[in-house]
Amino acid sequence: MTPTNEKNTATFLHLSALTQYIFPFGNYIFPIVIWSSKKNESEFVDYNGKQVLNFQLSIFLYSMLLCLIAIPIFIYTIFKHIPFEKIIDHDDFLIDNLTAGNITGLSILGLLAVMLFLFLKVIEFILIIYAAVKSSNGEKYKYPLSIPFFK
């Protein structure tokens, strides 16, 4: 049975990852600060801190992979249909060249990557809340699809 103080610290560790919506990189900074200050005092807090950081680093890696797919595809798709002669003439090139008829399979792949990114962020939010509830009950929780950077 884990003491209440350890459960509260572990719960706060998980919930501190939600600071990403307020502070840039808050999902790394706050869990690292809490974990590094309390990891030697409790095995339960140490385990949860590693799980939070592993999950956040995994989500970052998955997000970067999706961005590496989506961004070049969108840049290519947009610039493929823009004739640069019309840019110089200041014509209305967007209406003529960027139509729904120019959507290709490559554009759909880019849209799919964006949709997966949005789905990933929603699942991340839900899993953080779920892990916080589990740790407040004194249970150890391992995030799914989390790469074990810290063991």
Identify the pLDDT of residue 43: 92
Per the structure block, which two tokens stand in for 22? 């307020």
Please check whether residue 39 lies inside any domain of the structure: yes
* pLDDT one-digit tens code per residue, 51-81: 999 999 999 999 999 989 888 887 877 777 6
In one letter, which amino acid is 115? M
Let me know: does 62 contact 146? Beta carbons within 8 Å: no
Identify the pLDDT of residue 70: 85
Percent of the chain past pLDDT 90, that is, above it, reads: 52
Q: How many structural domains comprise the chain?
A: 1
Please check whether residue 89 lies inside any domain of the structure: yes
Let me know: does 56 contact 74? Beta carbons within 8 Å: no
* pLDDT one-digit tens code per residue, 86-141: 555 555 555 555 555 556 677 778 888 889 999 999 999 999 999 999 999 989 99
- Give me the helix-helix angle, 26-38 and 4-15, nearest 10°: 160
Residue of 121, 116, 135 lying closest to 35 (CA atoms): 135
* pLDDT one-digit tens code per residue, 32-47: 999 999 889 889 999 9
Domain holding 108, by residue range, is 4-136
Identify the pLDDT of residue 71: 86
Please check whether residue 141 lies inside any domain of the structure: no
Please check whether residue 64 lies inside any domain of the structure: yes
What's the predicted TM-score (pTM) here?
A: 0.80
| Residue 6 predicted with pLDDT over 80 | yes
Let me know: does 31 contact 53? Beta carbons within 8 Å: yes
Please check whether residue 146 lies inside any domain of the structure: no
